[in-house]
Structure 1
Amino acid sequence: MSELFDAVDALVASRAQLPPAEERKRLRTAHGLTLDQVAAALQVRRATVSGWESSKKPTEPRGPEREAYARLLGQLAQLYPAPGAKAEPPAATPAPAAPTGTPAPTEAPTPLTGPEPGRRSPAATVGTRDRSVGPPDLPPAAPRPARTTGPSSTSRRPVTGKPAPAAVVASGTDPRFENGPLAVVDAGTDGRVLAYCPGGRVLDVPAKSLPALVDWTLKEAKLGGPRLSGPGKDADPLLVLTESALERYGLPTALTDEERLAGRIPEGHKVVRQLKRAEWKLTKRGFGPWARIYRPATGAERACVQLCIPSWQALDARHWGGADRLPPAELARVLGVYAARVMTPRGSTAVTGLELMTALHPPTRASEPGADGTRHSEHNPGSLGRDPVDCAPCEAPDGHPLLADLPRFHVRGPDEKLFEEAYDWARPLTDDECMRRHLVGIDVNMAFAAGANGLTVGLGAPTHVRAPAFDPKLPGSWLVDLSHVDLSRVKVGKDSWADLDAGLLPSPFTPKGERPEGPAWYATPTVAYAVELGYEVRPTEAYVRPENGRYLDTWYQRLRDAFLTTMADLGVGADLPPADFLAAMDGWEKRDPQLAIVVSAIKATVKGGLGKLRERPRGEGWRPGEPWRALSRPTWRPDIRAAVISRTRINLHRKIVKHAAFTGRYPVAVLSDCVVYAADGSSPLDVLPYRDGRPLPGGFKLGINPGLVKHEGTQSVLWGEGVRERFDAPDLNLARYIKDGTVTDADHGE
């Protein structure tokens, strides 16, 4: 009889009424799920799920996929009812889980709102840009949590007199982390210590000392986060200590100059001694702005708590704006959103960006059970492994041990050193450009993230090859002469060529835009572009990596989704028409300054994480030719960094060439991911060609998605010429200052 019931249930489910496409997408994004995760769980293609959510012509699932999809949407609708609908208790049966290796959201993002009017909340960081590596109303804030009964150590209470931050709480699938990934610990004048969690929960903290605080966090606070991939590890709880909490637990509220340079307080400090007596350990970096307190793991159990101390400059103002000055509840909101959408911070945004790569691709995994049923640790395919690998000599930065035999003052040229960096190029304006009124800057969104998407990179050590045949699918470094590539005639299509003014274009092969003069080392994407432009290449030498894969894909996808979700919360959605997009971007930072901080941190995570792949020695008493600490990491991979930068620069040049071939307009300055054009009007629409609302195929397109462009800023041509005349620099890079037009004497050493 049960089989008949199952058959009836399946028959009913196969004709289940599904919500509209827009509601399907809302439910998925509300739970922080990506298209890839849903596709993997339902065992269909990503494009299939995208079609089910299409606002134009949605497709409908069939067969068992429809049954599973209806089940998923039904449970998500219980967790995230539509505005105005009454929530019902969730079903007892859990939704289908993502398969092993699929990154799962650490938290379920919910509607986010700005701070209460009149509350102090700093705007996002503004100023000279760091170039290194009518919108809809926002939904209402989540209601304040009601007081609950329970032991005083974990009682939850609303913040008296303060607006509860928007809810960013655990999805409820793991009761170990029901209070979220982190808490901001603050001590009141009445002696009470409170822990502010994302989502408005506030816990009473009974701990009287720092060792007791660590114990409480691990045993009672229910803080932390689930792993991002099957073989990975759960995220350790993070405690953010305010100045009052530092005083309460016997720590200084600020570091001395000596301590700041050392990056830690002395080992003889009384609190460090307290931790040692309680048999807690610190990592090699000691007790600094990002301290990790742990005991050696026993089996699979970890005992580790991380501290973040904003007043010790843990939150770099260049990336976190004024987050360190936010009240505890608002700071918990900012860090909670970041933790939910990226990962729990593990240090600076750069450190977190690198740690995210490892969290998504752990170096090892458990093997299949042997004959006796036991498992062991084995290499996780697609990861960088547990052990570091040497780079190729051409990929090594100056001072690397591989170069220890070079003469002391030897300067390596392009035929000895791989130099793949972002653009910093500019030229004087032509007479025609001087007659135009404006200089319009456009900026590529998340350019380096887009450069990492779909990029095949080496996973293992390099193999040296003499006189190789170039293979555009093989990652590596190639010694080849590209000086013969002539930009005055380039291939812009399968069978079409374009005649261009090469003197008005930067070379795609050098960061300064200069034409190469002879053989030089290049990453695979750069050499492949020369072939794409229609020219023959003949490498004389190469270091290639036969073991390779798309290591950065899931890293890109998680950061992309974090960026797009947060920008959508700020009123800037994807796929907006050009004029609507420009309107939505106007003043986006001011709609919710706290979320603007999150956007800044996400961007910094991309650039910083890639930069960490070639981290240089810092304050370690290091001498050229000696190894430094970062070399011991399997994620010290300058070749991967070079490949991403190469592809990012080439992507930009390809669009510049398409634009020039179609419009006859050339850039006057390029800085990393920003391009400046002279135009008669002040809008990007006066620069970018659109026909019937459609952009130039293969060229620049306005939009918020990574790889698309936004308006960076507009200044007058007179401003540009005046700045260059002031500093007697006819080729001064105006892209550096196009955002707000501010140029100081300090920028030029005057």
Structure 2
Amino acid sequence: MPTEEELFDAVDALLAGEPEMPPPAERARLREAAGITQARLAQALQTTTQSIKNWEAGRSEPRPPRRQAYQRLLDGWIAQYGAQSQAAPAAPATFTGATAGSSPQEPAARIEAAAPVATKPSVSSRRPGAKKAVAKPAPAPAAVDPRFENGPLAVLDVENGQVVAYCVGGLVLDVPAKSLPSLVDWTLTHSKLGAPRLHPLGKDSDPLIVLTAAAAVRYGLPEKLSDEERRAGRLPEGHKVCKQLAKADWQLTQRGFGPWARIYRPAEAGQRRCVQLCVVSWDALDVRDWGDKDKGLLPATLPPGELARVLGTFASRVLTPRGTTAVTGLELMTALRPPSRRARDEETGEWRTDADGQFVRERIPGSLPERLVDAVPCEVPDGHPLLAHLPRFYQRGPAEMLMEETYDWGRPLTDEECLKSHVVGIDTNMAFAAASNGTVVGLGPAVHVKNPDFDPKIPGSWLVDLSHVDLDPRLPSPFTRTGERPEGPAWYATPSVAYAVKLGYPVAPIEAYLRPDSGRYLDPWYTRLKDAYLATMADLGVTPDLEGQEFLDAMAASKTVDPELTMVLRAIKATAKGGIGKLRERPRDTPFGQPWPALARPTWRPDIRAAVLSTSRIIMHRKIMKMAQRGLYPVAINSDCIVYPSDGPSPLDFLPATPGPGEFRLGVTPGLFKYEGSQTTLWAEAQYEQDGPHTNIARIIKSGGHAATDDGE
């Protein structure tokens, strides 16, 4: 906290008129010339490294009393090293993968460049508009939609008694709203927040308002939810803020006013009137998806400007967050594949209407139907209304339930493998997203068929006996999660049965639920997430052209380059994983046999999830078979992490120097592999002695300790 003398000095400086500070690029040049890191400068000025980054990127300006101290330091450096001519342009910034604090033009500047930036500062801006950071050559950004010139979202905080909105690009707006209903009105009429649709026939993204703890309290909300409210996931309907909204004719969705709330009025003249609200202090941004407790990356503790950049970058590359990352992953599917469009009369070319004068809508090819598709008994999870006739704790077996899951398999090392010095784990990049690419899934309803001929081109669920598929005992079965050989007939998704045929084994399905109406529904979803992932990894210094040791070094360095970008990266990966898991959302606090809310949406499609997970597991097994031809056999697999014995601690110690087609290959592209972790063979033997011969060391290869399971949900 500044002293009274410092504040008086700051006031005197204002009265005397403050000298103009050097431009941001010049500040960075002077600091580099002096050989001072951003972290050291931040320590001297008693601020954060991120603040230094912001000052040098032009996103914000220092405030008194630090402004005077910073000005004095810059003046001293100018005297020592001279001022750069204003006529000479600054050298373009390039990313070299340096660690945080070592480069003035580092990824924080690229976060700003990646997010939508206002074309001109708002008249209500409290600070100068952000200056664009000079980055490595890139395609010219698309024109900013004037409706959303302030970006997709704003983070609201309270400063000196005034509510301010931190937008992307460093823009900060005054918020005149005194109540939550007036805040919603201001957002829709004056904020110019939102994002254009991702598909020409889709919907624009509603503006997102993120409330810090101080802003939540300012608008009459509790700083934290009570235990009862947290269990319910919402405020009680009688809360004063809910009453204020109802009195102003604003409505809430069925999930009520929780950490993520949608506040709306019915559309008028085809225009949506909806605002998405996110209350950070209510744990709206799950630290497991957006942060890292071990590294102190907590969304709720980020300064509002930094949080706006993190969420803005995610919004520009993926989608404006609409709930948890899993919810956002599901919403992204619909945003890229809208279900329907208005229908035209083929003869007149005019819009068709029904007897009530309402526009008739027709399904868009390649999308899911707007109406619910009837569930299939073998595909639904326990507790579904289709299974209400079963006893409460009845355990269905593989012949009754489709059990397409990722691997959870392990085996003891052979005597020869024990002579190796290490066990090394490698991990698939964006495994579920990669598996979704090109996978043909069912779109319409299923057709039940008895004794069908197998057709690999038709997605569906097949009851078939694959117990006769006999492989090397050092390899897991490709048809079960545990890697154990099937014991009899079981339900499988099409990719699993097709793989048995490719291995040369005959199949004779007993029955099937087939979906002739099919397509590559998830392809645009994969492309959007892949591009977001690769762009973020490139900002962290890892690009697709890197291979071998160069790739491993870049991956290791990326973990310390920029904490904010790391948060964006985690959220992108969680969106891919959670979106697939959300396709088969299970009941929560719902009586057995009763429908739960997720069943009411067309995107509740457990068959699509099963097809993706089956594809993911089969891709892994196909690569395992390729490696086995080289005499290399895995000892454990957990989801997308696989462990091999090795003569050293690096993946390069066991992977082929020149990988052939279909073999494991290191790289950043989704579907390729990265280093997960390594331990000594003695450590592995100790795990087997402690927990049994079928211990899955892939679960703990990274940390050497306990790890959570990963089942795609």
TM-score, normalising length: structure 2: 0.80
The amino acid of 2:324's aligned partner reads S
Alignment of 1:277 onto 2:250: no
The CA distance in 1 between the partners of 2:566 and 2:669, in whole Å, is 16
Shift of 1:276: 1.1
The CA distance in 2 between the partners of 1:337 and 1:117, in whole Å, is 25
Deviations 1:401-447 (A, max 9, x none): 11222344432211111100110000111111112111100001111
Alignment of 1:177 onto 2:148: yes
- C-alpha spacing 1:698/1:135, structure 2 compared with 1 (3 Å): farther
- C-alpha spacing 1:632/1:425, structure 2 compared with 1 (3 Å): same
Alignment of 1:251 onto 2:221: yes
Root-mean-square deviation (Å): 2.9
Deviations 1:637-695 (A, max 9, x none): 00000000000000001101100112x121111000000011111110111112xxx31
Q: Answer yes or no: is the 8 Å Cα contact 2:153–2:193 preserved in 1.
A: yes
Give secondary structure in 2 for the equivalent of 1:695: coil
Instruction: Give the match for residue 17 of structure 2.
Output: none
Give secondary structure in 1 for the equivalent of 2:566: helix
Instruction: Give the match for residue 684 of structure 2.
Output: 720
Instruction: Give the match for residue 295 of structure 2.
Output: none
- Partner residue of 1:374 out of 340, 344, 351: 351
Q: Answer yes or no: is the 8 Å Cα contact 2:264–2:275 preserved in 1.
A: yes
Instruction: Give the match for residue 69 of structure 1.
Output: none
Q: Answer yes or no: is the 8 Å Cα contact 2:679–2:701 preserved in 1.
A: yes
Say how many residue pairs are matched.
600
The CA distance in 1 between the partners of 2:565 and 2:603, in whole Å, is 30
Q: Answer yes or no: is the 8 Å Cα contact 2:409–2:481 preserved in 1.
A: yes
Shift of 1:577: 2.3
The amino acid of 1:641's aligned partner reads R
The CA distance in 2 between the partners of 1:372 and 1:540, in whole Å, is 48
Instruction: Give the match for residue 197 of structure 1.
Output: 167
Instruction: Give the match for residue 425 of structure 1.
Output: 409
The CA distance in 1 between the partners of 2:129 and 2:230, in whole Å, is 34
- C-alpha spacing 1:248/1:524, structure 2 compared with 1 (3 Å): same
- C-alpha spacing 1:159/1:724, structure 2 compared with 1 (3 Å): farther
The amino acid of 2:634's aligned partner reads P
Q: How does 1:19-418 map to 2 (within 5 A)?
A: 119=48, 135-136=96-97, 139-140=105-106, 141=109, 154-155=124-125, 157-158=127-128, 171-188=142-159, 190-321=160-291, 322-368=298-344, 371=348, 373-375=350-352, 376=359, 377-418=361-402
- C-alpha spacing 1:745/1:341, structure 2 compared with 1 (3 Å): closer
Shift of 1:208: 1.0
Alignment of 1:668 onto 2:645: no
Of 571-580 and 643-652, the range deviating more from structure 2: 571-580
Instruction: Give the match for residue 469 of structure 1.
Output: 453
Alignment of 1:611 onto 2:574: no
Shift of 1:545: 0.2
The CA distance in 1 between the partners of 2:615 and 2:164, in whole Å, is 48
- C-alpha spacing 1:266/1:252, structure 2 compared with 1 (3 Å): same
Shift of 1:623: 2.0
- Partner residue of 1:543 out of 513, 517, 540: 513
The CA distance in 2 between the partners of 1:329 and 1:633, in whole Å, is 35
The CA distance in 1 between the partners of 2:574 and 2:380, in whole Å, is 24
Gaps of at least 5 residues in structure 2 are 1-24, 27-37, 52-94, 292-297, 353-358
Instruction: Give the match for residue 674 of structure 2.
Output: 710
The CA distance in 2 between the partners of 1:643 and 1:746, in whole Å, is 20
Shift of 1:391: 2.1
Give secondary structure in 1 for the equivalent of 2:378: helix
Gaps of at least 5 residues in structure 1 are 1-82, 85-112, 123-133, 488-501
The amino acid of 1:570's aligned partner reads L
The CA distance in 2 between the partners of 1:746 and 1:646, in whole Å, is 18
- Partner residue of 2:609 out of 626, 641, 663: 641
- Partner residue of 1:439 out of 412, 416, 423: 423
Shift of 1:571: 0.1
The CA distance in 1 between the partners of 2:121 and 2:404, in whole Å, is 59
Q: Answer yes or no: is the 8 Å Cα contact 2:461–2:492 preserved in 1.
A: yes
- Partner residue of 1:738 out of 677, 701, 709: 701
Deviations 1:546-575 (A, max 9, x none): 000000000000000000010000000012
- C-alpha spacing 1:746/1:471, structure 2 compared with 1 (3 Å): closer
Alignment of 1:625 onto 2:593: yes
Q: Answer yes or no: is the 8 Å Cα contact 1:121–1:594 preserved in 2.
A: no
Q: Answer yes or no: is the 8 Å Cα contact 1:682–1:714 preserved in 2.
A: yes
Give secondary structure in 2 for the equivalent of 1:394: coil
TM-score, normalising length: structure 1: 0.76
The amino acid of 2:578's aligned partner reads G
Percent identity (aligned): 61
Deviations 1:479-508 (A, max 9, x none): 111111121xxxxxxxxxxxxxx1111100
Shift of 1:171: 4.2
Q: Answer yes or no: is the 8 Å Cα contact 2:699–2:708 preserved in 1.
A: no
Shift of 1:325: 1.2
- C-alpha spacing 1:149/1:164, structure 2 compared with 1 (3 Å): closer
Q: Answer yes or no: is the 8 Å Cα contact 1:170–1:180 preserved in 2.
A: no
- Partner residue of 1:479 out of 458, 463, 487: 463
The CA distance in 1 between the partners of 2:709 and 2:151, in whole Å, is 44
Instruction: Give the match for residue 590 of structure 1.
Output: 560
Give secondary structure in 2 for the equivalent of 1:591: coil
Q: Answer yes or no: is the 8 Å Cα contact 2:467–2:488 preserved in 1.
A: yes
The CA distance in 2 between the partners of 1:276 and 1:170, in whole Å, is 41
Deviations 1:607-642 (A, max 9, x none): 1111111011112xx222221111111101000000
Shift of 1:386: 1.0
Q: Answer yes or no: is the 8 Å Cα contact 2:126–2:174 preserved in 1.
A: yes
- C-alpha spacing 1:278/1:135, structure 2 compared with 1 (3 Å): same
The amino acid of 1:547's aligned partner reads D
